[in-house]
């Protein structure tokens, strides 16, 4: 008997980080069973409210009815609920929503957001992503992922440069690639590491495309991420690399920094200070793939 496709409506607010999460879940579901993915347009808040009151009967009427509705970002929440009201299906929201959690069928919320225990809640280790475990990691290929100042972290060019130099010096057989982000200060690029070091290739973030990082993570056996770039930490863990975290100044104790501390305490990552005392990176004993775990939860409970 042919397996029936799941039809997934994936709502997008156009933000790359949110799309990375909703695509990650959608693609994980597709690895379990054939799916048809539809990307409906978002309704305005007023139109979504009218649809929920059955006063906007034309909303999405030409689209095939969904089994699952997925959205990440506050701008998708009302459309998710309006679509469920008018066309059916189960609504899955990623990250803590701005609306009451009880309005959704499933809330996938990172543990650093301290979600309450609920029957319709599933706590995730960080935000979901599209990365898959790689069977082709190369132990002597390393990757530095450098972010920039954020609401939770400051910046220290000299301190970061010294940490990178120490990692480079630790193993002369390693080949390294370093990339930056849109948040990386120009001053960091201005004091770029020794160009004579043939083992380090610097690729500014502006010179990379959407597929560059997944391709690099599929090869790099060792990844160092600046502490501000938490999403990159989770992506590197998902790929299966051993992961070190480069220190940048913390503005204060925050949910983000506490999340990193928890990962370190559980042996998933190695902070630079720990590595400096014992120059080796923790190798986790379990796989890390939150998108797959969440997809299996949905499949087993809703479509068994």
Q: Is 269 helix (H, G, I), strand (E, B) or coil?
A: strand
Per-residue confidence (pLDDT) for residue 56, from 0 to 100: 81
% of the chain beyond a pLDDT of 70: 97
| Other residues' Cβ atoms within 10 Å of the Cβ of residue 244 | 24
Regarding whether 143 and 126 lie in a shared domain, the answer is no
Regarding whether 148 and 113 lie in a shared domain, the answer is no
Across 146-207, the runs of DSSP E, i.e. the strands, are 175-179, 200-203
pTM of the entire predicted model = 0.90
| Other residues' Cβ atoms within 10 Å of the Cβ of residue 144 | 25
Tell me if 1 is assigned to some domain. no
% of the chain beyond a pLDDT of 90: 80
pLDDT at 161 over 80: yes
pLDDT at 2 over 80: no
Are the C-beta atoms of residues 243 and 234 closer than 8 Å to each other? no
Output phi, psi for 92, to 5 deg: -115, 120
Regarding whether 259 and 145 lie in a shared domain, the answer is yes
Regarding whether 270 and 142 lie in a shared domain, the answer is yes
| Tokens 């790929």, residue located | 239
Distance between CA atoms of residues 94 and 290, nearest Å: 12
Regarding whether 250 and 217 lie in a shared domain, the answer is yes
Are the C-beta atoms of residues 189 and 174 closer than 8 Å to each other? no
Tell me if 283 is assigned to some domain. no
pLDDT bin (cut points 50, 70, 90) of residue 196 is very low
Per-residue confidence (pLDDT) for residue 270, from 0 to 100: 97
Domain of residue 150 covers: 138-277
Tell me if 156 is assigned to some domain. yes
Regarding whether 152 and 111 lie in a shared domain, the answer is no
pLDDT at 4 over 80: no
Task: Look at residues 181, 164, 277 and name the one whose alpha carbon lies nearest to residue 235.
Answer: 181
Regarding whether 206 and 84 lie in a shared domain, the answer is no
Regarding whether 151 and 111 lie in a shared domain, the answer is no
Domain tally, the chain: 2
Sign of CA dihedral 181, 184, 188, 189: positive
Tell me if 285 is assigned to some domain. no
């Amino acid at each position: 008997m042919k397996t029936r496709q799941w039809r997934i409506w994936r709502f997008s607010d156009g933000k790359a980080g949110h799309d990375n999460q909703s695509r990650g879940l959608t693609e994980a579901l597709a690895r379990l069973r054939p799916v048809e993915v539809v990307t409906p347009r978002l309704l305005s808040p007023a139109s979504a409210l009218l649809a929920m009151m059955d006063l906007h009967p034309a909303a999405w009427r030409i689209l095939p009815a969904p089994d699952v509705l997925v959205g990440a970002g506050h701008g998708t929440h009302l459309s998710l609920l309006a679509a469920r009201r008018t066309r059916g299906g189960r609504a899955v929201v990623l990250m803590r929503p701005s609306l009451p959690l009880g309005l959704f069928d499933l809330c996938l919320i990172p543990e650093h957001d301290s979600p309450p225990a609920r029957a319709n809640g599933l706590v995730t280790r960080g935000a979901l992503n599209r990365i898959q475990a790689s069977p082709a990691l190369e132990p002597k290929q390393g990757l530095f992922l450098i972010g920039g100042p954020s609401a939770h972290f400051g910046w220290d060019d000299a301190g970061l440069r010294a940490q990178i130099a120490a990692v480079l010096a630790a193993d002369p057989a390693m080949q390294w690639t370093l990339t930056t982000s849109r948040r990386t200060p120009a001053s960091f690029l201005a004091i770029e590491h020794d160009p004579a070091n043939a083992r380090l290739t610097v690729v500014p973030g502006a010179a990379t495309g959407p597929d560059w990082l997944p391709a690099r993570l599929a090869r790099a056996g060792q990844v160092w991420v600046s502490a501000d770039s938490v999403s990159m930490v989770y992506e590197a863990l998902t790929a299966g690399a051993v992961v070190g975290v480069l220190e940048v100044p913390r503005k204060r104790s925050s949910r983000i920094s506490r999340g990193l501390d928890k990962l370190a305490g559980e042996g998933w990552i190695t902070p630079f200070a720990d590595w400096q005392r014992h120059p080796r990176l923790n190798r986790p004993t379990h796989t890390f793939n939150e998108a797959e775990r969440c997809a299996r939860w949905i499949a087993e409970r809703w479509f068994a």
